[in-house]
């Protein structure tokens, strides 16, 4: 029993407190909900199948998680047999549920209802002062999906110093899925149903289970983290040996700082805003919206005599779409208004490419719509190429032969495919 529970509390309320219930009102957060299923002193906790709420129908997407959460005792319902699954949940309520679900003991402290849980959360590194101020106003704010992701990731023993990486870790672990087509909704508030679902996933991961993941959510989260999704979409290509990784994950080889290039004379500055990979064998990838109709796209093999080479003839490929911008150009005679971007290392195994050779996509190639270079897209076949001796390199260059410079965003040495 938590030391802060008074011995004089009546049986029904005492049972509700032991169930780890969340607050009933915003004005009095120490008030507790009454679970109509278990209100009598001495009753045992219900099995997950016996918990019924009038507002959680048989087809409710979170019914199983809600039943499990109530049976474990870290949340309960409201008077009248309701759970209120769509009601928003505060930061304090969520941290209390997590601490209770993890079985972390609390001790008596002076102050408002959430403080015992916050103290434990701080000690267990579930909450840090840099997240938001430790005061009543902040703890009574509705929690966002980004904040929930941060707590959930910490609850499974992971951490990062990059604030935009929490959602990536959460989606990659299966703790959080997207809101349809991979939409992350980082700033959206979360509901009671969503909260117990996340907590149940935390418990499953901590029990050694591997959760299914929403690949589109992971892709978008990786893109939000460091400006590319290539490691999510092209995992069989972008691999490396342990000696190169040096204890890092392969995604950390991407050097986000090198996505901006400034010329040596300081008169030109450009940025690669994003590098987005699309799997051509996935017609449901939401990033297809970035391109013209796929049936209209062609690739260039280096010979102008070869025309109308449809990319649809090579479906086992990836498309690499770039978004870039020139930040400033103070010498337009020296620098043109382009951003020079290059992907190298996906080479043809043939010693030479002659016009009379069979037309084969066995290396990276430019993609165009109506005329060459009219869209910033490359195509990379999944198989058939060989790795250049320099490995795979992704780089930015200054668009000038004078004082030319290049910098690498990624250098990696995968096995030949």
Per-residue pLDDT, 50: 60
Measured in residues, the chain has a length of: 417
Distance separating alpha carbons of residues 225 and 137, to the nearest angstrom: 29
Give the closest residue to 225 by CA, choosing from 201, 259, 193, 191. 259
Maximum distance among all Cα pairs of the chain, rounded to whole angstroms? 92
HSE at residue 18, side-chain half, CA atoms within 13 A, is 19
CA-to-CA distance for 107 and 163, rounded, in angstroms? Answer: 31
The pLDDT assigned to 257 comes to 96
Beta-carbon contacts of residue 64 (< 8 Å; ≥ 6 apart): 48
Per-residue model confidence as pLDDT tens for the chain (417 residues): 332 322 232 333 323 333 333 333 333 332 333 333 332 222 333 444 467 898 898 899 999 999 999 999 999 888 889 999 999 999 999 999 999 999 999 998 788 999 999 999 999 999 999 999 999 999 999 999 999 999 999 999 999 999 999 999 999 999 999 999 999 999 999 999 999 999 999 999 999 999 999 999 999 999 999 999 999 999 999 888 777 788 888 999 999 999 999 999 999 999 999 999 999 999 999 999 999 999 999 999 888 888 889 999 999 999 999 999 999 999 999 998 889 999 999 998 887 666 667 789 999 999 999 999 999 999 999 999 988 888 899 999 999 877 789 999 999 987 655
- Measured between alpha carbons, how far is 20 from 17 in angstroms, rounded to an integer? 5
For 14, residues 6+ apart whose C-beta sits below 8 A from its C-beta are 5, 41
Residue 388: per-residue pLDDT: 82
Where are any strands of DSSP class E within 79-233?
none
User: What is the pLDDT, as a whole number, of residue 320?
Assistant: 98
Residue pointed to by tokens 């010979």: 303
Confidence (pLDDT) at 165: 97
Angle, CA 185 vertex, CA 181 and CA 188 arms, to 5°: 145
The residue extents of the domains of the chain are 11-225, 250-412
Closest CA to 335 of 265, 231, 279: 265
Whether 20 and 100 have beta carbons less than 8 Å apart is answered as yes
What is residue 392's DSSP assignment?
A: E
Query: Secondary structure of 207-228 in the HEC alphabet?
Result: CCCCCCCCHHHHHHHHHHHHCE
Q: Which residues pair with 189 in a beta bridge?
A: 144
């Amino acid at each position: 029993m938590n030391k802060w529970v008074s011995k004089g509390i009546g049986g029904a309320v005492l049972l509700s407190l032991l169930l780890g219930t969340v607050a009933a009102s915003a004005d009095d957060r120490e008030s507790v909900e009454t679970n109509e299923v278990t209100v009598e002193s001495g009753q045992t906790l219900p099995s997950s199948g016996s918990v019924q709420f009038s507002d959680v129908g048989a087809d409710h997407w979170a019914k199983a998680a809600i039943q499990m959460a109530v049976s474990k005792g870290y949340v309960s319902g409201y008077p009248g047999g309701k759970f209120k699954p769509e009601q928003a949940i505060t930061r304090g309520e969520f941290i209390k549920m997590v601490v209770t679900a993890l079985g972390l003991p609390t001790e008596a402290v002076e102050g408002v209802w959430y403080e015992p849980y916050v103290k434990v959360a701080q000690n267990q590194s579930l909450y840090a002062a840099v997240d938001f101020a430790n005061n009543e106003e902040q703890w009574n704010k509705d929690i966002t999906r980004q904040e929930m992701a941060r707590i959930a990731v910490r609850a499974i023993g992971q951490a990062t110093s990059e604030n935009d990486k929490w959602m990536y870790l959460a989606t990659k672990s299966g703790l959080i899925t997207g809101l349809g087509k991979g939409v992350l909704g980082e700033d959206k508030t979360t509901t009671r149903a969503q909260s117990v679902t996340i907590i149940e996933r935390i418990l499953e991961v901590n029990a050694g289970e591997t959760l299914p993941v929403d690949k589109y959510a992971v892709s978008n989260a990786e893109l939000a983290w460091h400006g590319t999704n290539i490691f999510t979409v092209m995992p069989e290509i972008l691999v490396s040996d342990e000696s190169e990784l040096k204890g890092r994950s392969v995604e950390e080889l991407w050097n986000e700082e090198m996505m901006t290039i400034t010329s040596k004379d300081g008169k030109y500055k450009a940025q690669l805003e994003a590098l987005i990979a699309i799997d051509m064998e996935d017609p449901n990838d939401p990033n297809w919206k970035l391109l013209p109709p796929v049936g209209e796209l062609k690739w260039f093999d280096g010979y102008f005599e070869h025309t109308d080479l449809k990319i649809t003839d090579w479906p086992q490929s990836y498309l690499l779409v770039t978004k870039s911008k020139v930040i400033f150009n103070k010498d337009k005679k020296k620098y043109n208004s382009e951003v020079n971007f290059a992907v190298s290392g996906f080479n043809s195994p043939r010693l030479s490419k002659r016009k009379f050779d069979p037309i084969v996509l066995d290396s990276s190639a430019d993609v165009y719509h109506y005329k060459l270079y009219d869209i910033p897209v490359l195509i990379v076949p999944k198989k058939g190429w060989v790795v250049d001796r320099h490995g795979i390199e992704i780089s930015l260059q200054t668009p000038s032969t004078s004082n030319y410079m290049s910098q690498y965003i990624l250098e990696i040495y995968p096995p030949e495919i």
